[in-house]
Structure 1
């Protein structure tokens, strides 16, 4: 169940009595001297829409291929629904995989593409027909059942591949960059279609993607990976608002960073980060000792920009050195007195082509002590 669904009531990972569908225990995969997956342990639950997120070469696809049975772990164990997958070939697992290329048969109709796996399993003709019609209805392609793949759009081909993958009712569906071939607008539309289909079928989905927005939109939980390791596993709001490291804060979304030392002050921490600059006040549930080195991350949408000095916890003066106009909002790059750049965003709520601020304007930026996050690493 994706984050857009009833995420407040769906949290099996918080229930100690809930058994995971997939259990990955201390799994490592080496190719010669190269370690692609490094000692990963992870539980994924029934009905989850789980995202493996990270840059190219981080190990996410290798991990997915081990779930599918196309790669064998060098060390560790993978169980699916309580069954150890050691020695179980791909065609004997209750798992299906949908590839980025879709891999549809060009000479077969949409109907026959969906029916292919069911027929190969020897299912009776009436059951094949009933299941294919059910899948066509699920992906809303009844009108296109007689067409060949080249006679339908990219988004429709993606739905055919999804219907074919779901036709055999797998316990687990693996999606390898499934929307990568679609243009931006169609990709965004298809994300919501995927969420709706996943919720209707109740199938556990695991998606591999390098697209942060895609992972944040569709997933119930996100696993951020880097260099074969899990860096953080959490729900999209927790990953975004409470990253556990500079790497996660920087990889997921946009942020400005300040490095310095911290000390306790009036129930908050003060980060001393540059000579001649006011300290940054920050609340943190994580404990720091006085004098400890820390990193501070602040998202641009949390930073306000003003012509006059505001009254707030964190107030700094600078000048606008760059502007990014994105239609619905503008991002201002503000250079502070010591040369540090901080980003501030404002929504363009009125239909006016004149910006509030322009290049070289002197401005003030501010935010409250609860807006940013202090990080140890």
Structure 2
């Protein structure tokens, strides 16, 4: 039995962050790329900056690395204000999406290149290179050149080179973007394993929600230069603080209406004339008698041929489409008010003939705690 306390330094008010953004703004002329950001990232975290293209996540990372200057506010790393400190003088290394390996050098020479230009004693360089090759499991590829390796192997070489000088902080800019889906998924777990072994703080920029949810201890969801929510992956998914976050992370059903009740953790949403109010968990800053929306994940929505009388939350509709994905099927059901709701069902047995098919009248239902009522 594991008795270790969970890793959550952000919950400890006495913990000292490695990185601190204080009221940071970045402007390019009249355009505001980063808008008054406050953020703390702690030692040994695997932190993800997540958002769509143009949301400001790469700009935030480049300011951290020293490749962009701050217009207003301050950034400190390990208690030191980074204002005016160039990239090569920071306790930071950066791994780019292109990997930027030297094509004419072997793997071992690529790893040694930066070390030879550092203050590391020459007698220690070979040992450090061997240590890094062992870390990324590429020892037998030491004499190969980058073009003789797969994309996943090159990615690991770039990671080893970035870690060779033992930075306190490693920045990863879409590091897995060039890999195919299966290899990307495998490499995500390798990244997590290496980060845990080295104890280095990782900050990754990605637009891939699944990637952020897999690797990160915490995620910052960004939009138009602002941090919309900073939380653990499970909290981001299960308890989004806004419709934007709920809609951006994963797949979600949204039903709009009027908040009729908000008491403690429970809330109700009126969504159609003569329809029973939907019950759900209360989102942040929710007040009664205001417009709102109910968000529920498709895997939490059950589908029935007959009306489930034992459940309060139940709606009637017609099956408009079915997506068969092998391990699961998604039913697209059109409600009477025009809303399209998805129900995801695990295919835990071979499908010989569907009990529910296209055009059927069905009932959808979910528990009172399955979804969340949010301000709209």
TM-score normalised per structure 1: 0.95
| Counterpart pick for 1:53 among 32, 36, 50 | 50
Partner of 1:179: 176
1:227 to 2:224 alignment: yes
Say if 2:170 and 2:200, in contact at 8 Å, map to a contact too. yes
Say if 1:7 and 1:220, in contact at 8 Å, map to a contact too. no
Partner of 2:343: 344
Partner of 1:124: 121
1:134 to 2:158 alignment: no
Q: Secondary structure at the match of 2:282?
A: coil
Structure 1 residues 344 and 183: CA distance shift in structure 2, 3 A: same
Partner of 2:88: 91
| Counterpart pick for 2:303 among 302, 305, 312 | 305
Rounded Cα–Cα distance in structure 2 between residues aligned with 1:160 and 1:257: 44
Structure 1 residues 376 and 205: CA distance shift in structure 2, 3 A: same
Number of aligned residue pairs: 373
Q: Secondary structure at the match of 1:352?
A: coil
Rounded Cα–Cα distance in structure 2 between residues aligned with 1:88 and 1:18: 25
Deviation string 1:271-314 (CA, Å, 9 cap, x unpaired) is 11122433211232656443222111011010001111112120
Partner of 2:281: 283
Deviation at 1:121, TM superposition (A): 1.2
Deviation string 1:20-70 (CA, Å, 9 cap, x unpaired) is 000000111111111111110100000000000000000000000000000
Deviation at 1:259, TM superposition (A): 1.4
Q: Secondary structure at the match of 1:168?
A: coil
Q: Which runs of 5+ in 1 are unaligned?
A: none
Structure 1 residues 71 and 297: CA distance shift in structure 2, 3 A: same
Rounded Cα–Cα distance in structure 1 between residues aligned with 2:252 and 2:173: 28
Deviation at 1:265, TM superposition (A): 8.6
Q: Which runs of 5+ in 2 are unaligned?
A: none
Note the aligned Cα RMSD (angstroms). Answer: 1.7
Partner of 1:274: 272
Deviation string 1:96-151 (CA, Å, 9 cap, x unpaired) is 00000000000000001111110111533331011010000000000100000000
Partner of 2:211: 214
Rounded Cα–Cα distance in structure 1 between residues aligned with 2:208 and 2:128: 33
Structure 1 residues 290 and 91: CA distance shift in structure 2, 3 A: closer
Structure 1 residues 290 and 76: CA distance shift in structure 2, 3 A: closer
Partner of 1:194: 191
Partner of 2:320: 321
Deviation at 1:14, TM superposition (A): 0.5
Partner of 1:374: 373
Rounded Cα–Cα distance in structure 1 between residues aligned with 2:119 and 2:287: 66
Rounded Cα–Cα distance in structure 2 between residues aligned with 1:353 and 1:143: 49
Partner of 1:365: 364
Rounded Cα–Cα distance in structure 2 between residues aligned with 1:368 and 1:61: 39
